[in-house]
Chains A and B, each alone.
Chain A
Amino acid sequence: DQQVKQNSPSLSVQEGRISILNCDYTNSMFDYFLWYKKYPAEGPTFLISISSIKDKNEDGRFTVFLNKSAKHLSLHIVPSQPGDSAVYFCAASGFSGGYNKLIFGAGTRLAVHP
């Protein structure tokens, strides 16, 4: 049973435009969400996180939005750059599973082209 789902395996965006990556979760006990970015032959790199007490968190070009009622979060990258091309993983954690036990989605491959 996939508790964290990223339904789009891939996304292609033009440089300078907005990239929107989506993530859905099923476990209402999740209360902390993270986005990781992964380049080939490297481990995932932490990008941004959000607690369930917030609905938005920004860090430079990256903004994460959380809609608790819909059990949905999204990562916005504005403006998109070719260096953003990578696989993006959404992850969640919560008290029931243990806060440091991250549940990951399958990832979305983002390609930013000139």
Chain B
Amino acid sequence: EAGVTQSPTHLIKTRGQQATLRCSPISGHTSVYWYQQALGLGLQFLLWYDEGEERNRGNFPPRFSGRQFPNYSSELNVNALELEDSALYLCASSLISGGHTDTQYFGPGTRLTVL
């Protein structure tokens, strides 16, 4: 069974541009999560989508946005890129059991570099 996939692996942009990152969840998973891992820091929660709806959002400015498509894949868009947006962006997916915390399975990440 294929795991979570992300594209591209690396992305280089200049300040002020827009970046689009893509994620395909594990087959059967309806929830997708986005995290940012800046250098030397832990993963910071960005967004959670389930069944096409945004369910929760981390403490990030509105220029970080995303969406989830009917096939449950997801896009993360970062507008007006700033140098400090350079980071590893990780996508995860899970089932939603309706119970407590659902195990999240992570993709390999997209390394975004803003010059």
Contacts and interface: CB of A to CB of B under 8 A. Distances in A.
| Chain A interface category by residue count | 20 to 34
Size range of the chain B interface in the assembly: 20 to 34
Contacts, number: 69
Interface in B90-114: 90, 92, 94, 96, 100-109
B42 A99 contact: no
Interface in A14-54: 32, 34, 36, 41-46, 49, 51
Contacts of A101: 45, 48, 56, 58
Interface in B21-51: 31, 33, 35, 40-45, 48
Contact of B100 (A4, A45, A46, A99): A99
A26 B42 CA distance: 16
B107 A43 contact: yes
23 contacts: A34-B101, A36-B106, A41-B108, A43-B4, A43-B92, A43-B105, A43-B106, A43-B109, A44-B43, A45-B106, A49-B101, A51-B100, A97-B56, A98-B56, A100-B31, A100-B33, A100-B48, A101-B56, A102-B104, A104-B42, A104-B43, A104-B44, A106-B40
